Structure 1
Amino acid sequence: MSEDRRLMVLRAIVQDYVQTSEPVGSKALVERHHLGVSAATVRNDMALLEEEGLIHAPHTSAGRVPTDAGYRVFVDRLSAVKPLGQGERRAIGQFLQGAVDLDDVVDRTVRLLASLTRQVAVVQYPSLTRSTVRHIELVPMGSSHLMIVLIVNTGRVEQRVVDTGRVLTDPTGEALVASIRSGINEVAAGVPFTVAATRLRRLVDEADDADRAALEAVVSALGDALVEEREERVVLAGQANLARAGADFPRSIGPILEALEEHVTLLRLLGQLGDDPELVSVRIGSENPVTGLQTTSLVSMGYGSGSERVASLGVLGPTRMDYPTTMASVRAVARYVTEILDENQAT
């Protein structure tokens, strides 16, 4: 038997089952697909596919449905992720380009993914520990207080207010603010925040005694911002889509919803991507290490600034998923988010 034909039959079964949610029989395959062989030959091919564990009969009938292994072969044999249409790409770009800050980018992205794919969308916030400092601004407030504005390459903005213990409204105080602003940006701008933190501590150690207390207050506040942001976050949208796919979860969607509430688990799954920033990762059914998610598939991809991946996004839904379209949607959105972050870094 031709292996190419057998894979053609598997592909046809996956496509029909995804579209109809009904077990697929040999007669339907011959009628709907140009396989160039008889129904008897297709039945033989299906029997061998079943022996290989790629399809199975959900009940006593002539129809077959793909297994997790069958979906995996189907996904792995995709020659390339098909691009979205020009209109779809334009709509994605216009929707995301309207974002005003990082929080808005994340919110728009997760809602867009859920709408495009009709699945549960998951977007990870960029972590400061994997980002770089773009600029640190100091804004005097009152006689001795400073607002510290930390601007990160991903577009995130963190603010802190500290009491320097020094009068900042006279010429000496204004010169001190300018000196601190210049010094911290010289050592911190353009480098990863974790590296910047070390350099800033060294700057305190090397400061004049008269200025050290004020500089210490600024550097400590920046350090606090880093500690608070080490706990990464994810944002979800489209959980109601699971209920619409209830037939794909014969037992209950309860365990899936419980797993989705464990953001640490989602962060771990999103973090298990390869080093290739252009790769769309697909984890199917039993490939998911989390018990509650083993009836689902997770399609994800990293996004970032430049060639560095600073976070991930993706969608989660039933294994009976339109993988080519879902993978194309995830890839397109990830690329647009990366472009937005690059633009934020350049401006």
Structure 2
Amino acid sequence: MALDDRKLEVLRAIVEDYVATQEPVGSKALVERHNLRVSPATVRNDMAVLEEEGYIRQPHTSAGRVPTDAGYRLFVDKLSRVKPLSPAERRAIERFLIGAVDLDDVVHRTVRLLAQLTRQVAVVQYPSLSRASVRHFELVPISTTRLMVVMIAETGRVEQRLVDLPGPILADDVTELRRRINEKLVGKRLVDTPPLVEALVEETAPSLRPPMTALSTVLLETLVERSEERIALAGTANLARGGLLDFQGSLRPILEALEEEVILLKLFGEVEPSMTRVRIGDENEIEDLRSASIVATGYGPGSIVVGGMGVLGPTRMDYPGNIATVRAVARYVGDLLGQS
């Protein structure tokens, strides 16, 4: 049965009050707190319909009602208005992230910031090299027969390798090798580079082919090597902040699930940057997380996704606020990674 606008307003009021007070919500309190323009008796009838339809339920201990997973889902999909962040909040995010000195620092600042702003558990996936493109290659002479190869990815990730050359090399030749490598590889995705590196050797003049051959081995190691995916986590203490009842039982299964990086990558990875994914309660594939909700989005420079981030908390969470915060932080981190 389709709910009319008034019943949807009653559901919205129940969700907002329950999130704010952590107490089951009664009809009298709804009429007092919200401008519903109807009597408590009418609200009681609306609540009876919402309960019948599975959007709210009555805990045994109280005459009030609390939202069900289906009620939260309807609220997120149709009723919630994403709260815009205040200018002060935006400035705070920008200031906190702009001070980062390297990629590790960006990730650690981001995950701490998300946990502080949302008061939930925050998860940030480190930028995945496999999804990144090459921003720049630098060749730094260490001696006449040894170079340092520095690869900077679009994610801000920096990889360094030393290469021993088969013989002495002139400074002008180093400049030429650097030019050819950048011309061939800059802007290309790392996963697409192996054939380009092979072509580099074939296209190089015979006099420079020995050093380019030595370089090509190190280039391939730098570009193709798969470092394992990593996750940063913060705010697990927030799980207990609202009490165990938020999670309908023990926190231990949730904490154990959070220790499994494979689970976290599945939950927070592979999300498009323009999309926010919200999984509520039983919608979670992981059984131990079925009393929790997850808000996740992808991040990266421009339209490129290099990782996922988001928050996990009780189903009784501030969805509009958390969605807005996760989106805003993801956008700032993407902008940061896009700066040369």
On whether the aligned pair clears a TM of 0.5, the verdict is yes
Letter in 2 for 1:339: D
Counterpart selection for 2:315 from 303, 319, 332: 319
Give the drift of 1:265: 1.8
Q: CA distance change for structure 1 residues 132 and 26 in 2, over 3 Å: closer, same or farther?
A: same
Q: Name the structure 2 match of 1:234.
A: 231
Q: Name the structure 1 match of 2:248.
A: 250
Structure 2: state its 5+ residue gaps. none
Q: CA distance change for structure 1 residues 78 and 198 in 2, over 3 Å: closer, same or farther?
A: farther
Letter in 1 for 2:337: L
Of residues 69-78 and 203-212 in structure 1, the stretch that sits farther from structure 2 once superposed is: 203-212
**Structure 2 counterparts to residues 111-122 of structure 1, below 5 A:** 111-122=112-123
Letter in 2 for 1:308: I
Tell whether the 8 Å contact from 2:11 to 2:50 is kept in structure 1 after alignment.
yes
Q: Name the structure 2 match of 1:53.
A: 54
Cα distance in 1, alignment partners of residues 184 and 215 from structure 2: 14
Q: Does 1:192 align with 2:193?
A: no
Letter in 2 for 1:184: I
Cα distance in 2, alignment partners of residues 25 and 219 from structure 1: 71
Letter in 1 for 2:223: L
Task: Output one character per residue of 1:10-47: Cα deviation in whole Å (capped at 9) or x when no partner.
Answer: 11111111111111111211122121111111111111
Counterpart selection for 2:175 from 178, 191, 194: 178
Q: Name the structure 2 match of 1:297.
A: 293
Tell whether the 8 Å contact from 2:282 to 2:290 is kept in structure 1 after alignment.
yes
Give the drift of 1:208: 5.0
Q: CA distance change for structure 1 residues 78 and 342 in 2, over 3 Å: closer, same or farther?
A: farther
Tell whether the 8 Å contact from 2:201 to 2:212 is kept in structure 1 after alignment.
yes
Give the drift of 1:268: 1.8
Q: Name the structure 1 match of 2:20.
A: 19
TM-score, normalised on structure 2? 0.93
Tell whether the 8 Å contact from 2:12 to 2:79 is kept in structure 1 after alignment.
no
Give the drift of 1:250: 3.4
Give the drift of 1:137: 0.4
**Structure 2 counterparts to residues 73-152 of structure 1, below 5 A:** 73-78=74-79, 80-152=81-153
Cα distance in 2, alignment partners of residues 17 and 183 from structure 1: 62
Q: Does 1:342 align with 2:318?
A: no
Of residues 248-257 and 202-211 in structure 1, the stretch that sits farther from structure 2 once superposed is: 202-211
Q: Name the structure 1 match of 2:41.
A: 40
Tell whether the 8 Å contact from 2:140 to 2:149 is kept in structure 1 after alignment.
yes
Cα distance in 2, alignment partners of residues 78 and 147 from structure 1: 56
Letter in 2 for 1:180: L
Cα distance in 2, alignment partners of residues 75 and 2 from structure 1: 15
Percent identical: 60
Structure 1: state its 5+ residue gaps. none
Cα distance in 2, alignment partners of residues 96 and 224 from structure 1: 31
Tell whether the 8 Å contact from 2:190 to 2:224 is kept in structure 1 after alignment.
no
Q: Does 1:307 align with 2:307?
A: no
Give the drift of 1:278: 2.4
Letter in 2 for 1:204: V
Cα distance in 1, alignment partners of residues 60 and 26 from structure 2: 13
Letter in 2 for 1:133: V
Cα distance in 1, alignment partners of residues 222 and 68 from structure 2: 47
Letter in 2 for 1:311: G
Cα distance in 1, alignment partners of residues 270 and 102 from structure 2: 27
Cα distance in 2, alignment partners of residues 310 and 110 from structure 1: 16
| Aligned-partner SS, 1:77 | helix
| Aligned-partner SS, 2:9 | helix
Tell whether the 8 Å contact from 1:286 to 1:295 is kept in structure 2 after alignment.
yes
Tell whether the 8 Å contact from 2:292 to 2:312 is kept in structure 1 after alignment.
yes
Counterpart selection for 2:276 from 264, 280, 303: 280
Letter in 2 for 1:265: I
Q: CA distance change for structure 1 residues 98 and 83 in 2, over 3 Å: closer, same or farther?
A: same
Give the drift of 1:87: 0.7
Q: Does 1:67 align with 2:64?
A: no
TM-score, normalised on structure 1? 0.91
Tell whether the 8 Å contact from 2:277 to 2:296 is kept in structure 1 after alignment.
yes
Give the drift of 1:266: 1.4
**Structure 2 counterparts to residues 157-172 of structure 1, below 5 A:** 157-168=158-169
Q: Name the structure 2 match of 1:259.
A: 257
Q: CA distance change for structure 1 residues 231 and 205 in 2, over 3 Å: closer, same or farther?
A: farther
Q: CA distance change for structure 1 residues 267 and 12 in 2, over 3 Å: closer, same or farther?
A: same
